[in-house]
Structure 1
């Protein structure tokens, strides 16, 4: 349904109602007023589904294109699972993005709402969508160490090898920060263990530079290349006195004579 199907008076009323819905979704409450009765409060998920559909439909067409936040987006952001389920049952679009390209799924993954993530995926959310920065749901979950969210995405066959606009892969960011379990999950799901960003930084380099020994050991166990061209991981270990990391690299046959771009 679209706004053309409503009269001017209906559109005016629905604008008010749609704004009301957006506020209601944030608080998990909806205030419904019968013309013949006093305004009373009820949880949104207990409301008549046709009321939700009618309001959500106009909220979607009238507001999301300008404000950038749909009712589904707000429900996902605030972890209101039953509200989200009510909206999905009314055929609300789960793939409407804001003006930065962030969808409800991306935001749910950034906060760590595993059940909301599963609900959105089951409703057809684009598991491989990227925002204006090229950031995917898998990258967001990996960066924020949201293991259950990542597992839900992997179970839905999300691509674990989508890099952002700077060439940063989910595995790279997990190794840089030191998320061991996320690193293991990504590798098990087929993440490219030898991926590099636009600066030639590999997962081994990222783990070595930041002294994440367990992450490095995980990569070595997965047979990651410790001698990727332009990789300064070993040199950084010398400079930063990461002795255990250095020992692990040498044990994995890292070339102690490898030079960086400056010939050092």
Structure 2
């Protein structure tokens, strides 16, 4: 395991040829040689272990590190992008990568068929976690691929509301959400936000959305009147 973790492909191969159990794991954390190699981004060792038929369900470690080349190897070897590698939290590779802000890894998983709006045990989607972490590029990637911008967690907190904890993501998210938080929700979270200026984007955007809806309705009425 140490050879794999430290990227020593030749030593790893020698140990495998001499009969080392490729799927042996550490009792305390269930880490295997492949898990550790994925976590450290040891691409050549990962490729070698997969050639020796190591268990491929170790996307969590690759997602944590954001190693796209490692993730691609695991997917090519048959890893399911939608299986939760962390059963206790029900996090998928996508939610883990989004939480860490690894937008390129997120993009790769989406193209591989990852369920973009999968919820973890706390009800958080990948977009919610990206907003919570203040990861703008990751949030943009998810929205581009039609992630649900209004998906709330188990506490009924939306991605927009949680974005206020970081501030800079609000200007982006406020242009995409369909369901704005109520006044009660706003005041409940006001004490936790770090950027009070961005907080007041909400009524501005809500008024703009209402004005656009009114203009659309007026245009429709004009068309109907002409008919």
CA contact (8 A) 1:175 1:212 kept: no
Q: Which residue of structure 2 aligns with residue 64 of structure 1?
A: 25
Matched residue, 1:174: 130
Structure 1: stretches of 5+ with no match in the other structure:
1-21, 31-42, 96-103, 255-264
> Residues 230, 86 of structure 1: CA spacing in aligned structure 2 closer, same or farther, 3 A cutoff?
farther
1:252 corresponds to: 205
Secondary structure of 1:64's aligned partner = coil
Flag the 1:175–1:231 CA change in 2: closer, same or farther, 3 A: farther
1:120 equivalent to 2:81? Answer no
Shift of 1:238: 7.9
The two structures, once aligned, show a CA RMSD in angstroms of 2.7
| 8 Å contact kept, 1:204–1:224 | no
**Structure 2 counterparts to residues 188-203 of structure 1, below 5 A:** 188-203=144-159
Paired residue for 2:167, among 212, 227, 249? 212
- The residue correspondences of 1:77-96 to structure 2 (distance < 5 A) are 77-95=39-57
Shift of 1:183: 0.8
Matches for 1:119-198 after TM superposition, within 5 Å: 119-130=73-84, 131=86, 132-198=88-154
Work out the number of aligned pairs and report it: 204
Using the alignment, how far apart are the partners of 2:193 and 2:35 within structure 1? Answer: 44
The structure with the larger Rg is: 1
Deviation at 1:28, TM superposition (A): 2.7
With the length of structure 2 as denominator, give the TM-score of the two structures: 0.78
TM-score, length of structure 1 as denominator length? 0.68
| Deviation of 1:211 (Å) | 4.9
Q: Would the alpha carbon gap of residues 78 and 207 (structure 1) be closer, same or farther in structure 2, given more than 3 Å must change?
A: closer
